[in-house]
Structure 1
Amino acid sequence: MDSPRRSGRSQDPAKGRDETPEERADRNWSEVLQELRVLQTGTQILTGFLLALAFQPAFSDLNDSQRFVYLVLVVLSALSAVIALAPVALHRVLFRQRAKLQVVAYGHAALMTALLTVSLLLVGVVAFVFDVVVGDAAAWTALGALAVVIVIAWIVAPYVVRMKLRAKDGS
């Protein structure tokens, strides 16, 4: 069996898994792909919902500001899909170029950006539906409430867990 130094594997198990940089990049790319799949499914469902709305009889009852919000949501939906698929396109272009580390880094940045666009899309769709069904005040309330939930679930909670892990590793 190769020594850790000759095989390129991590020598200190406390610092992570016993894997080469290439193995780590492959594992990280698999994780990025799994996250892309989850994100893309939700985005596709929202996109389908939004596109179907334009062909409903009640769509003509929307006022100008509601139509504008609707079009912004359609653009956000398309943008979210494009951003979420960008790592796949990069991977195809760089296939067999030994650029997995760059692809993973790009995938991470794209996923973070896609999460931002999807959060805007989710908040916007919920506010839009509340506006059409109940009214303007309810839309603003729903927008604010969902925005707070997203900030807590997607930003605050992960950072709290991260800080606890760092504190645990530091002691």
Structure 2
Amino acid sequence: MSEAEESDQERLRRNLNELLQELRVVQAGVQILFGFLLSIVFTDRYREVDQYIRITHLVAILFAATSVALLTAPAAWHRALFRRGRREDVIEITHRFTMIGLGTLAAAMTATVLLLGEVIVGGWIAIVFGVVAGLGFATLWFLLPWRERHRDDLDAPGHPESPLTV
């Protein structure tokens, strides 16, 4: 069956299944990162680090914890509203949670790269690593997809800038 032949409920079911599958992939990574960040405080070396590294570590943990909360919340929403005919609402709020969760995950990953850069090499090179990581996540996860999405809008028939508009 093509997407054009789907009923609204079939489309919503497919969209929700695709979204939940995407979240299954992301959840494992963010939970592993969160566990890694939590384990750092139990090392002997952590007692010797300066305040800057401790604050960077705390920021990374807070962003990772927020990511875990946002990226696992859709399962709770789905379960709570399951069979209530609210699939469209679940998809909308889950989409928002996912996008914000990816943003906080990008921030957690960036802070983690900065943290590791500080511990391994220190100084301005660590900051460069953090900036490059942040720009990489922003570009790959947000800027390029949004550019493609905007391109789809421009290519739609009837859009004043569309090549399909005569």
TM-score relative to the length of structure 1 = 0.85
Counterpart residue type for residue 14 of structure 2: R
Task: Indicate which of 31, 39, 42 corresponds to 1:55.
Answer: 42
User: Partner residue of 2:19?
Assistant: 32
1:7 corresponds in structure 2 to: none
Contact in 1 for aligned 2:117/2:129 (Cα 8 Å): yes
Structure 1: how far apart are the matches of 2:6 and 2:22?
A: 22
Aligned to 2:96: 109
- Structure 2 residue 31 is the aligned partner of structure 1 residue 44: yes
Does residue 143 of the first structure (1) align with residue 134 of the second (2)? no
- TM-fit CA distance, 1:141: 0.2
Query: Which SS does the other structure have where 2:156 is aligned?
Result: helix
Q: Which residue of 2 aligns with 1:23?
A: 10
The one-letter amino acid of 1:35's match is: E
CA change 1:140–1:163 in 2 (3 A) is same
Unaligned 5+ segments in structure 1 are 1-12
- Using the size of structure 2 for normalisation, the TM-score is 0.88
Shift, 1:17, TM fit:
2.8
Range with bigger deviation, 145-154 or 20-29 = 145-154
Give the Å deviation of 1:143: 1.3
Identity of aligned residues (%): 31
Does 1:100 find its partner at 2:87? yes
143-152 or 159-168, larger mean C-alpha shift: 159-168
Match of 1:119 in 2: 106
Q: Alignment RMSD, CA only? A: 1.5
Structure with higher Rg: it is 1
